[in-house]
A and B are shown apart, each in its own frame.
Chain A
Amino acid sequence: MAEAGIALIKIAVVLGFVLNLAALLTWAERKQSAVIQDRIGANRASVFGLRLFGLFHIAADALKMLTKEDHVPQTAEKFIHGAAPFISFFFALMGFAVIPFGDVLRVGGREIPLRILDLNIGILFIFAAIALEIYGSVLAGWSSGSHYATLGGMRGSVQMFSYEIAWGVSLLGIFMVYDSLDLNRVVLRQGDLLWGVLPKWGIVTQPLGFLLFLAAGMAITKRVPFDLPEGESEIIGYFVEYSGMKFGLFFLTDFVLTILISALLATLFFGGYQLPYLEPDGFRFPWGATWSLDHYTVVFLQFVALVLKIVFFCWLLLAVRWTYPRFRYDQLMDLGWKVLFPLAVANVILTGLVLTLIE
């Protein structure tokens, strides 16, 4: 009973964190793009004259989405059309089940692992979730009964083929170095120090893998420069026939995926919740100084560290969106098949060679 209660609390905390951050990202995207482009950005929504840098636009947008007419085209497959955004949204959220937000929390003699699911094949779970997520947009495109939407859905599925293999292979190096598919174990092993100074983070051991994973990850979020399924200047994309909150769900899914990719980047390549030199009992700096902290502080600091890393990567992904133009369709496939995939294989071979040599 207590187990189930704890699991529910964990789910609630993770969902609350992810959804709130996603909502904030809708605001951040507008504000960040504005600042990059020497503009001011959304700042008109106000409550009693209080504008708060346009933060009320989140609420205003949500309210608008909820009250708009939910239009279903006559030619649509009604059921699938209705289900598609939920499929997308559901599988995007599912990925967070295996993200470790900390090691363990000890409360009253009970050890609580700070992740919803303790899976020893955590990363495969995420792969599966993301592979299913694309079904949401493919089904949305197909079921809308609109040529543009269908094109968007087709682009989405072909795009998935082009990057997912490279994406998967780019991670093999990580698992070879850390010798596990369990995300928590990968994070724990990133807490080690290389040569006693350098944190043994993924970015240090797998710099090439990081770049490949970053590129492929951006493709997963279906955002610029890989926003072909959407292609708002040409076909509007798979959700062209959606309105109201169903469109809102697709919109939100993009941001949830952005957070998920950020969380994965932080977890796999930037030490997850690890803070350099922070051991379970406090800081131990390589030059001998120590600063002992109690268990709760350590857990809190680790959580804050992860959140900050996630926020940083969200910022990076948003900045990327406002920097590059969209790839052409053939360029995307060239990139996926001819660049990312061979490089990822080369990375695996190189990692294997280095590991063998070290041993």
Chain B
Amino acid sequence: MAYYNVSRPSEKLTWRERIYLPELFKGLRITTRHFVVNLALHAVRLLGIKTRRRGAVTFQYPEERRPLSPRLRTRHRLTKREDGMPRCVACMMCETVCPADCIYIVAGELPDPNVEKYPVRFDIDLGVCVFCGFCVEACPEDAIRMDTGILEIASDSREEMIYSIDRLLSG
């Protein structure tokens, strides 16, 4: 494994640091510089003058959105087979591996003897989920994915945080 030599500043404080005051002013200078420069940039841009730098590095969230990484783990969805049935075979691997115990599966039998079982109930309690993605890793059928890109999953009640199989299947 690669490693780096990290040079730490000496534990012993220099005389300049020990009298403290110059260091205080140094800190204050940094914040004040940010304040003045950013305020000036804001003012200039407010007047309609284009500048290379912006006064703030933030995104104005609901209107502006950061591009999501394709690897980002977002809200779960259940995938379907060609015939529209859920791919899930109710093997409960995800339920077993889930560290937050937020997946609730109840298995059922179909009349078709070639289908071992299917999920009668498949609920994810997103209020409890820690978004670790283990369920996706554990799934032997690629039936659960976390690629919806949906991040806004707030709701007004705990019950609404529990996503049933229908909501998960509809993406």
Contact = CB atoms under 8 A, between A and B. Distances in A.
Q: Do chains A and B directly touch (beta carbons under 8 Å) in the complex?
A: yes
A35 B55 CA distance: 7
Contact of B39 (A35, A319, A323): A35
Interface string B15-33: 0000001001001101110
A319 B58 CA distance: 21
Contacts of A38: 34, 38, 55-58
Give the size category of A's interface with B. Answer: 10 to 19
Interface in A26-60: 32, 34-40
Given A40-B58, A40-B60, A211-B21, A35 B28 contact: no
A37 B32 CA distance: 10
Contacts of B56: 34-35, 38-40
A247 interface: no
Interface residues of B, number: 17
B35 A36 contact: yes
B146 to A, nearest CB: 30
B42 interface: yes
B28 A36 contact: no
Nearest to A43: B60
Contacts of B27: 323-324
Given A211-B21, A319-B28, A37 B34 contact: yes
A320 B32 CA distance: 10
29 contacts: A34-B56, A35-B34, A35-B35, A35-B38, A35-B39, A35-B42, A35-B55, A35-B56, A36-B31, A36-B35, A36-B38, A38-B34, A38-B56, A38-B57, A38-B58, A39-B56, A39-B57, A39-B58, A40-B55, A40-B60, A211-B21, A319-B28, A319-B31, A319-B32, A319-B35, A320-B28, A322-B31, A323-B30, A323-B31
Interface of A: 32, 34-40, 211, 319-320, 322-324
